[in-house]
Amino acid sequence: MAEAVLGKDWEDRAANGLAFLRRRITGDYQVDEFGFDQELTEEVLLTLLRPLAEKYFRIEVRGIENIPTEGGVLVVANHSGVLPLDALMTQWAIHDHTPGHRHLRMLAADLVFVLPVLGELARKAGHTLACNEDAQALLERGEVVGVWPEGFKGIGKPFADRYKLQRFGRGGFVASALRARVPIVPCSIVGAEETYPMLGNAKTLARLLGVPYLPLTPTFPWLGPLGAIPLPTKWTIQFGAPIPTDQHPAEAAEDPMLVFNLTDEVRETIQHTLYRLLVERRSVFF
C-alpha cells in the first residue's frame, strides 16, 4: 500500500513538472507590468529557497499575524550579511507563513537589475527599482512591498558594527506609504549578520570591479568557491506591530518633519527589537 501511495505521489509530481515545462515552452503563463512571474516564483525560486530557510538557517518566524491578509503594506527591515540573503528569506517567510501565501515585492538597488541573469530573475520574482513611483504603484495595488533602507551600507558593514543600523536615508519609503495610506510593518532579522563575517574590505579592487565593496571574511577568498558558502547560523525574523498611516491625509507625505519622525520611529523600533532578540538568543548557531 505504501509503495502504491509513493508511486502515485511521484506520478503526480512528474505530471505537474511536465505541465510546468510545457507552459514555459509554449509561453502559456502570465506576467504583470513589472515582469512578475508568479508561477516561476512559486514553482522554482521558492522551492529552492525553502530548504535553505527551513533546514539550513532553521528560521523562526514571529509576528506574521502583523502582515495583513489583504491590501497594501510596507515591510521595512534591517539589512546585513554581505549578500542579500536576508531579503530572500523574508520573501520566503511572508509567502509560506501568511494565510493567503502573499508575495513580497522588493524594492532593490539599481545594481541588481544591470547584472546579467540576476537582473532578469529579480524582475521575474516580482521585484523592482527602489524608487518612490514604483513603491507607491505597488502599494496602491494592494501588494506587500519590502524595503531595506540601509542598502549597501547595511549588507557591506564590517562585522564589528553588526546589528547597528545604518542611516535610513531621507524617508522616501515613508512618503510612499503615506501617499498610499498603508501601514508600515517594521521587520527585525537576527542571524544574517554572522553568515559572512566581514572582517575587511578590499576597497581598491572593489572600485576596479565597479561593486560597492569586496568582502574579506574568515573563509573568502582564502577557501576559493567554498568561501562563498554561508555559515549555518540560526535565524529569527520578527514582524513588528503595524504603524498606521491612514490617520494622515495623503498630502502629509509632503511634510518633511512628519516623514522624518515616522522614519525615525520605524528605525528605532527595528533597532530595539534587534537588541531584544539578541539578548534572548542563546547561540549564534543553535
* pLDDT tens-digit profile, the chain (286 residues): 555 545 667 776 777 767 667 777 776 678 888 889 999 999 999 999 999 999 999 999 999 999 999 999 999 999 999 999 999 999 999 999 999 999 999 999 888 888 888 889 999 998 998 888 899 999 999 999 999 999 989 999 999 999 999 989 778 899 999 999 999 999 999 999 999 999 999 999 999 988 899 999 999 999 998 999 999 999 999 999 999 999 998 789 999 999 999 999 999 999 999 999 999 999 999 8
Extents of the domains making up the chain = 1-30, 35-195+230-280
| CA separation, residue 216 to residues 12, 154, 180, 204, 225 (Å) | 46, 16, 41, 13, 13
d(CA 41, CA 106): 13
201 DSSP β-pair partners: 215
The answer to whether domain 35-195+230-280 has CATH 3.40.1130.10 is yes
pLDDT, residue 132, reads 87
Q: Decide: 207 and 97 in contact? Cβ < 8 Å.
A: no
How many C-beta neighbours within 10 Å does residue 149 have?
A: 26
Cell readout for 59 is 528560521
Q: Under 8 Å CB-to-CB from 259, ≥6 apart: which residues?
A: 170, 171, 174, 175, 178, 253
> Pairing relation of β-strands 200-201 and 215-216?
antiparallel
Q: Decide: helix, strand or coil at residue 105.
A: strand
14-36 in b/e form (b: 16+ CB < 10 A) is eeeeeeeeeeeeeeeeeeeebeb
DSSP, res 207: H
C-alpha cell at 6: 509513493
Q: How many CB atoms neighbour CB 164 within 10 A?
A: 13
3 state SS of 59 = coil
The whole-number pLDDT of residue 49 equals: 97
Q: Identify the pLDDT of residue 24.
A: 75
Whether residue 237 contacts residue 93, with contact meaning beta carbons closer than 8 Å, is answered with: yes
